[in-house]
Amino acid sequence: MTLAPPRPDTVRAPDVEAPAVRSTGSPYRPEVQGLRALAVLMVVGYHVWLGRVSGGIDIFLLISAFLMSGSFVRRLEAGQRISLGRHWLHVFQRLVPAAVVVLVATLAVSFVVLPPTRWGDLLQEGLATLGYVQNWLLAHRAVDYYAADQGVASPLQHFWSLSLQGQIFVLWPLLFVGAGVVARRTGVALRPLVAALFGVVFVLSLAYSVHTTSQRQAFAYFDGGARLWEFAFGTLLALGLARLRVPGSLGVPLGWVGLAGMVSCGLVLQVTHAFPGYLALWPLLSAAAIIAAGRTGHPLGVDRLLSSRPLVGVGGYAYALYLVHWPVLVLWLAWSGRPGAGVVDGLGVVMVSGVLAVGLGRGVERPLRGRSWPDTAPWRSAVLLGCIVGTALTFCGVGLLQLHGEAARADAVASGAFDPRHPGARAVGAAAAVIPLPQRDRLPASTALRGEFASLPDPCGGAWAPDGGLSCRVFEPSGPARRTIVVVGDSHAEQWLATLLPLARSNHWRLVSLLKGACSFGDAQTRSGACAAFNREAMEYLTDHRPDSVVTVATAAHPTTAAERLVTGYQAAVLELTTRGISVVGLRDNPRWHGGVVNCALREGDEAGCGAPVAAKLAPVDPAAALAGVRGLTIVDLTDHICPDEQCPPSVGNVWVYLDDNHLTKTYAATLAPVLAARLRASGGWPG
């Protein structure tokens, strides 16, 4: 099946809290270790063959909190002194080294397998992973319209869950220690106090999760606030089972019901688009039923299966298997060009992941797990962790600095400066042919394409500030503005800011942008929801502020065919402006593609097969030409400088035309500035 961008499941280090459980006299529970093993095998199977989320992430969050909470309560009740510093060193000494080894190895292989257009994002994810904040990075990217569509999922994306757990491994001990202090000073019993505290966390976080999931599910999936209740559930389960015992006669059926629910969750529920709202109760309650069933001792009990030597053995490598299986799968699919794994290559992915997991467990995890440094010499643990993390930080940081340096070469061109080696659109129709440069020397650097969206420098202020919630930015000239130009629409209008900004600088124009991703400018009555509201507010802004001119995109190209059309409601919106004396410029949309054009050129090493005839991308006649008679409207078509000689190539004049599959790079758009100015002058419109 097709590998969709993942909502990956997680598993924590198998023995991070287990030693504490044993040390306080609580019996070792092999069925919990087997539960962890079964869950990680389910996670791997769902990812490799089904391309779906299994719900196992929620089970592992519960197990983490269940083991950690039981340990802390017993230690506090026993009057043991808890050193938070040593506890955190103990935890992260086990978690960090294996994660860093996999992180660095994945980055190294990714730089060979994945195109350079992916490297910047991967290095950012690497830094976020090392800081245990990757879940927040991915949460914001998940709702970022301008985040590039990378086709294949990130091989580092599964680290988001470890970032979330790392945050909890810091927060939960603070809450427990704080509760212990309050209990001692007030005389309140510890367990009821802890139950009340985490009960409040459970209720508030669950309510927030349900609301956020219904409004912004992609964000909620990675949001720590929407996941706290799952950890709180594990804490409340640990407290409850300390006082309640399930009779053996009920334990057997309860365990099997829980196992059935656990395995079937991802098959029955469309969890990819529904979690972590109230539906996450399904896997949590399933796992809770298995844990509550306990050690029945019955030959037909689930605990007999989960306590078996094979599953307990796999549980010992669960953390390592989770770490390696996702990058192995993603990088294999990227290297092979397959949309998903089949039976045979999927088995290969699982086998390779298993071998790597055993090597990681025996070579990294187990040697460090036996160290007593956090207790006997905590400074050694601190130095060790500092060296490991520092090395990886340096690796990622130096890489990002190098990419930043490569991006700087394009800034001069994007600001309007002429570069004879990189003329871009200026090469079209030039008397002398431009000598093609190797792909690595073209602008912008392929590693910097993500930063090629155009924008204006400042938020709108003063008289040009919007009254409502419009996203408004402005470029103000150094002196009095001779004209005010407003660009309004979606990201295809935004890209023309790079073309207009050099003209604004040289002509002392004020340039304003009113933008909303995926919402083209048209009559608000032809829109719905947030897009209708944006168009309504934008029209009110324009009619209230009465700029000299408004720049829009008049047509919408199709990614796979020549079915170009006039933007819905465009004519009505234009007439509303022009009848009020506000001139409008309607730009023709640029050709769009089904996949990344630059990635294709880099992969093939030859651009010939990555372009297309303009006749295959746009309509034979500009659909906006039908509005040519509207007084006050100027139609501008720059297709001949995007697709010279009737062909649409990945680069023109040694400048990459596209930053993804449908947006112009700001570097190339800037080289179109002289062409746009000439077309406007020739049309009799502005500038004069």
The pLDDT assigned to 568 comes to 96
What's the Cα-to-Cα distance from 238 to each of 66, 310, 355, 580, rounded to whole Å? Answer: 5, 26, 34, 69
Query: 480: which DSSP letter?
Result: -
Note the pLDDT of residue 58.
87
Alpha-carbon torsion 137, 143, 148, 153, what sign? positive
Residue 12 has pLDDT above 90, yes or no: no
Please, which pLDDT band fits residue 272 given cuts at 50, 70 and 90?
Answer: low
Q: Which pLDDT tens digit goes with each residue over 302-321?
A: 999 999 999 999 999 999 99
Q: Are 555 and 589 in contact (CB under 8 A)?
A: yes
pLDDT of residue 15: 34
Local structure of residue 245 (DSSP, 8 states) = -
The average pLDDT across 437-451 equals 90
Nearest alpha carbon to residue 329 among 314, 316, 347: 347
With a pLDDT cut of 70, the percent of the chain lying above it is: 93
Residues 661 and 593 sit within 8 Å (Cβ to Cβ): yes
What is the gyration radius of the CA atoms in the chain, in angstroms?
Answer: 29
Q: Give yes or no for residue 382 having a pLDDT over 50.
A: yes
pLDDT tens string 133-174: 999 999 998 866 666 555 568 999 999 999 999 999 999 999
Cα distance between residue 285 and residue 426, in whole Å:
64
Q: At residue 1, does pLDDT exceed 70?
A: no
Beta bridge partners of 251: none
How far is it, in rounded angstroms, from Cα 582 to Cα 117?
Answer: 41
pLDDT score of 3: 34
Query: What is the structure's pLDDT at 10?
Result: 34
How far apart are alpha carbons 451 and 659 in whole angstroms? 9
Q: What angle, 0 to 180 degrees and rounded to 10, lies between the N-to-C axes of helices 30-45 and 318-336? A: 10
Task: Express each pLDDT in 322-333 by its tens digit.
Answer: 999 999 999 999
Please answer whether residues 675 and 425 qualify as being in contact, where contact means their C-beta atoms are separated by less than 8 angstroms: yes
Q: Please enumerate in sequence order all residues whose Cβ is within 8 A of that of 283, keeping only pairs 6 or more positions apart, or say none.
A: 55, 56, 58, 59, 261, 262, 265
| pLDDT band at residue 22 using 50, 70 and 90 as cut-offs | very low
- CA–CA gap between residue 643 and residue 665 (Å, rounded): 14
For the chain, domains (ranges, CATH) are 18-397 (no CATH), 424-683 (3.40.50)
Cβ partners under 8 Å of residue 376, min gap 6: none
Mean pLDDT of 231-237: 97
Which pLDDT band, with edges at 50, 70 and 90, does 27 fall under? low
Query: What is the per-residue pLDDT for 686?
Result: 65
| Side-chain-side CA neighbours of residue 604 (13 Å) | 13
Cα–Cα distance between 322 and 326 in angstroms, integer?
Answer: 7
- Tell whether the model's pLDDT for residue 371 goes beyond 80: no
Given a contact cutoff of 8 angstroms between Cβ atoms, the answer to whether 225 and 276 are in contact is no
Whether residue 586 has pLDDT greater than 80: yes
User: Taking every pair of C-alpha atoms in the chain, what is the biggest distance, in angstroms?
Assistant: 91
508: left (phi over 0), alpha (psi -120 to 50) or beta: left
Helix (H) or strand (E) holding 651: strand 651-652
Site of tokens 């961008």: 5
Q: What is the pLDDT of residue 367?
A: 86
Distance of CA 308 to the CA centre of its chain: 38
Query: Does the structure show a pLDDT above 80 at 427?
Result: yes
In the structure, what pLDDT confidence band is assigned to residue 21 with cuts at 50, 70 and 90?
very low
Would you say the C-alpha torsion 581, 582, 587, 588 has a positive or negative sign?
negative
What value does the mean pLDDT take over residues 116-123? 92
- Does the pLDDT of residue 14 top 80, yes or no? no
- Inform me whether the pLDDT recorded for 416 exceeds 90: no
Q: Quote helix, strand, coil % in the chain, to nearest 5.
A: 60, 5, 30
What does the pLDDT average to over 642-646? 96
> How many residues in the chain?
688
Q: Which is nearest to 64 in space by CA: 101, 103, 18?
A: 18
User: What are the tokens at 421?
Assistant: 């080696």
pLDDT at position 380: 85
* For residue 24, pLDDT beyond 50: no
Beta strands in 457-561 (DSSP E): 458-459, 472-475, 483-489, 509-515, 549-553, 555-556
Q: What is the average pLDDT value for the chain, to the nearest integer? A: 89
Residue 442, token pair as written in the block:
């073209």
Residue 453 has pLDDT above 50, yes or no: yes
What's at 386, amino acid-wise? G
- Predicted TM-score (pTM) of the model is 0.85
Q: How far apart are CA 179 and CA 75, in angstroms?
A: 13
Q: Place 376 in a pLDDT band, splitting at 50, 70 and 90.
A: confident
Q: What type of residue is 331?
A: L
Pairing of strands 583-587, 555-556: unpaired
DSSP string, 574-639: HHHHHTTT-EEEEEPPPP--SS-HHHHHHHHS-GGGG-EEGGGTS-SS-GGGGGTTSTTEEEE--H
Q: Span 605-629, mean pLDDT?
A: 92
Question: Token pair 């019996």 is at which residue?
Answer: 27
Residues 6+ apart with CB under 8 A from 463: 545
Res 57: pLDDT: 81
Average pLDDT over residues 284-290: 96
Higher pLDDT, 415 or 443: 443
pLDDT higher than threshold 60 for residue 581 = yes
